[in-house]
Each structure stands twice: as structure tokens, then as C-alpha cells.
Chain A
């Protein structure tokens, strides 16, 4: 079995959101100075899911794929140290500032070029924009089934079995491979690389493909080809009012509260 895991590098998600600024004129997020980039949390859980499948079937090949600048190698290397076999970096100036459709186009084209891929795993969403579209977008463009937000994953005789997280529980869904799965944090903590595995990373190959390698150009990846328009980027303002109920006794306070809620038509 050949699994491709899509991983993304994002600004350190441990940093409080309040320290990020928005440049509304440029419609861009401005991270605080000195912030480092780290692997997106859910993507590392995606790598863990692939490793669990590899634990069951050791001849499984796991390719770690990421798109971005050379610095993204850090996340690829960490994933390789967790047990991935090969790395693939999609690196080109044309890959900057893509919308979700173009992103899915690049990733799905690379997966097609890899050939004989049985399963693509993504994190349920990247922790920077929280859009959660990569997995479904890739599946749509490949024409494969997408099983999303999994808390456990198995492959039985060419059938992908995923337990999906729901608001009120979970459901088990199946699909024939090839397929795309997105993985949620309920799967469990990702394993950490051991020193032995870190030493082996140097021996693992990371291939770099450009837009030309994928047969893509400005006509598909340029601003005119975007399918999504960002109208406005801003921090929503939420107003909070706090009012203490008057009353001489707890009962009276409760009655006043009930009256107030009724007036506001909340009860």
C-alpha cells in the first residue's frame, strides 16, 4: 500500500491569537515578530494515522508531501523521523497565494504524478485558517471518496474503514481504495521521533517538484484562475455585557433573572 500524507507548516499555534495582527488593506494576517513555523497539529496526527497503518502492514510506503518554501523541509523531516519513507516538497513561486481550489489542484496533480497511490491522509484542518478543505478538494479533483474527521482508521482488504467524529457520537464509514481520509485529534497523540529515527532522516530522499514538473502554469495558478474571492479580512468584534441580578435573597435574584430572560424572549 502507498500512502501519501499531506502536511502543512504554520506559525506556532501556541502563540496567543491576540498577538497576531490583521492588515485589512492587504487582507493579510501579520504574525508577531520572531514567531517560528511549526507543523500543523492535525497533520502530525495524520502522520500518526499513517504510521498506525504501517505498524499493521510494514511493507506500506508512506510519502510525506508538503507545499511551500524550502523552510517547509523542517515539517517534512519531522514526519520522516516519525517513520515516513520519502518526502516530496512542492516548491515554486507560483504556489504562493493560492486559493483552496488551486491548492487542491496542485496537491491532486502531484498525487496523480506519484502514481499507484492508494490512500491520501490529511489533517482534519490546518490550524492557521481552519478551513478543512484540502482533503475534500483533493478527493473531488481525483474523483475518489473522501472520508472525513476520523478518530480511528483501518484498511481491510482494500477497504478503508474510518470512525468519524460527530457532534453527538461517531459513525463508521467505509470506502474502497483509493480514497482520501482526514484525521481528527481524537485519534490520539502523534508519536515522537526517537534519536535512532532522527539519524535515519538524512538517508531518506526528499524530492522537489516545481509547477513545471506538474505540468501547471500561470493559467491555472495565477490570480485570474482563482475561484475564491476574499472580500474582507478582519477581527470580528464581540460585545459582552455583564449584569448582576439585584435581590435581597437568592430566590428573589433568581426571580429577577427569570423575568429578565423572559423579557429578552430567551425563555
Chain B
């Protein structure tokens, strides 16, 4: 008798409070979007408000300055932000990094970083993807070598979001190379390590990657040339970072799904409002025509499904369900929500006709944002591979 689809009063309060928090920025939404689009500046004021509201501290225990309200609360906050047409920006990566530090950091690292993440005084990005290692993260080549009290890091990363505004990055490297693994007969997942790296470290070069349609964070290619990182910044145990890293990907996928359900809700609301008002033939609103109404009804059905899947995944994470099950829930939710977001925005554009392409509706911007999530942070194909292998027991194809 424990199945209950009702959000708690506290979770409902998160939704209304985040909405209320965004009210004062409503008139500046276009300004923030343009700021991100031009690659100039960062909506620091909005970021600080996210922190003040407690979004950056939702996954941080109270003894380290957080509110520890959990991933379900944070997910609802993310959804509200996107439903209102704002971007969570760096919140996605910072929350994922936070999970990793909370679960794998030592006391000194937690005391050093978590209170400042919670109060918004430092920002984090995440660096894993490399030119030769995207989907297959175990293939990364960036390498860290111990040298006294430091590690010396060489290599490169690509598609690193927000490296220009982040103070620190969670960097995934190899401390045992693929060649060494082969020689020693060790598994591929061995030899990965995580470091907390100051983004102003000597030996790091950042090159922007132009993403014309994106109104999200700026993307960067990073080059590390004998970059020194203090050994005290090694997160967890050397060579055993793979599990820590993969477990941190679950919250990222759940929050990505919440972004998608928020975008879908935003697009659906715009479409329904327009369909009620717009009259083309005589005095009948276009929403009365089934060719307009039925696709929007389908979006509503899919939205409820994706929302429930996302809430289930967040609930499972918060209640300590095993990471593999959370991984299944998170992947499925992200798959459904990303496909839904594209569908919702597409139908909203269709409902608006030519107006759907005008800047004022914001739908074209939303379309590029929604489309991004089919591919990132994990592609739909890799999710299907995951479900085939882990949920259906089918043979691995790669």
C-alpha cells in the first residue's frame, strides 16, 4: 500500500517558491538568453538567486551548509525553471559534481568545497569528453602522473560547458594508461581518477567552440600541458574513479530529464494558449480542430508519463535504491523526456504556423535546446543500448 503519486507539501512548496523566485527576473529573460547566445557575460544575479533559493545546496548535507532536500526537490526546481522559460545553466553540472564530492570526497574536501557551492560563491564544471572518447568514456587519454605532492596532467578535453565561468572543474583522467592496463591484464574500468581542478591553473588553455544555435552555456576545448594539480585534490581513490564517475551520471540524467519535461510544459502551454485564441476560419479557434488538438493531447499524455518516470528516478536516488536500478530509471526517463521535448516544441511550432519561427515566441530557441537533449548528456542510442543490455539481458553489441 505504499504507492503514492502525490507530491508532499514540501515538494509542492518547492515548485511554487522557485516560480515565485523567478517572478522578478521575468522581464529579463530575453536579456539572459541573448547574453548566453552572444557568449558574453553570465547571468550572475540569477545564479546567485538560484543559490539563495537553495538549489545549489539541495544535494549537500546540512553540516556542509546545504539543505539536503534531495534530488526530487531539485528536479522539481529544475522543471519549474524550464517551464518558466529560464535556463538552469551551470546548475546541471554543478549538481552532478556535488553528488560526486558528497559521495567520494574526504572530510577536508567536503569542508573546502561544499559550503561554497551551497552559498553560490564557487561554480563547478565537469570535464570528461575528449576528441577520441565521447560516448566511450573509458577510452579517454588525458593522463595524470604523480610527482611529489602534485599530479602532472597532460591531454585535452572537448565540449566542456561553462569552463569560462566555472571556478573549478571535476576532471576525469587516466592514472593508468590503456597500454598499462593491457600489459597488466587489468579491466578497462580500472585506472580512471577524478580531480578537482582550479580553472585558472597554469598549463590549461581554453578554446571556445562555436555552437550557433545554442542559447545555453559556452562550450570549450581544453588543452592541458604539464598542468600541476595538488595531490590533495584527488577525489576518491586513485585508479578507482570509474564507479564514482558513473554513479554521478545518474543525477545528471535525471536533471536533464527534468529540464526536458519543463521545456515540454513550456511549449505545450504556449501552444494551447495560442490554439484557444487564434481564429483562421470564421469564429472557430484553431484548438477546436482535431489536427491541432490531438497532437497537443498526445504531448500532454507523454508529458505525464515522462514526468512520472523522472520523479520515480529521483525518488529512487534519494531513497538509496541501488545505483544500477537508479541508472535504469534515470536513462529511461531521460530518453522519454528528451523525445517528448522535441515533439512538444515541434507541435507548438506547427500550432503557431509562421509565428512559430518568430523570435517573439521563443520556440525556435526552444527547439534547438530540446534537440540538444536527444544527443546530450547521453545519446538516445546509448540509452537504448543500456536498456537492451541491463533491462532486457540482450548481448552487448559494442
- Give the B-binding residues of A (Cβ under 8 A): 73-74, 77-78, 81, 189, 192-196, 198-199, 201-202
Contact = CB atoms under 8 A, between A and B. Distances in A.
Main secondary structure of the interface of A (DSSP, over half): helix
Contacts of A192: 16-18, 20-21, 53
B114 to A, nearest CB: 14
B10 A202 contact: yes
Which 5 residue pairs across A and B have the least CB separation, nearest first? A195-B54, A192-B20, A196-B67, A195-B67, A192-B17
Contacts of A78: 13, 16
Given A81-B17, A189-B23, A189-B24, A195 B53 contact: yes
Contacts of B16: 78, 192
Given A74-B9, A192-B16, A194-B67, 13 more contacts: A81-B17, A192-B17, A195-B17, A195-B69, A195-B73, A196-B54, A198-B13, A198-B17, A198-B54, A199-B10, A201-B9, A201-B13, A202-B10
Given A78-B13, A192-B53, A198 B24 contact: no
A198 B20 contact: no
B262 to A, nearest CB: 17
Interface of B: 9-10, 12-14, 16-18, 20-21, 23-24, 52-55, 57-58, 67-69, 73, 77
A202 B53 CA distance: 18
Contacts of A195: 14, 17, 53-55, 57-58, 67, 69, 73, 77
20 contacts: A73-B9, A74-B9, A77-B9, A77-B13, A189-B23, A192-B21, A193-B17, A194-B52, A194-B54, A194-B67, A195-B57, A195-B67, A195-B69, A195-B73, A195-B77, A198-B67, A198-B69, A201-B9, A201-B10, A201-B13
A34 B5 CA distance: 17
Contacts of B68: 199
Contacts of A81: 13, 17
Contacts of B21: 192
A77 B24 CA distance: 23
A198 B10 CA distance: 6
Nearest to B66: A196
A2 B315 CA distance: 39
Contacts of B53: 192, 194-195
Nearest to B73: A195
A195 B17 CA distance: 8
Contacts of A77: 9-10, 13
A189 B17 CA distance: 13
B17, B68, B73: most-surrounded residue (chain A CB, <10 A): B17
Contacts of A194: 17, 52-54, 67
Contacts of B18: 192
B98 to A, nearest CB: 14
A199 B67 CA distance: 7
A202 B21 CA distance: 22
Contacts of A193: 13, 17
Contacts of B52: 194
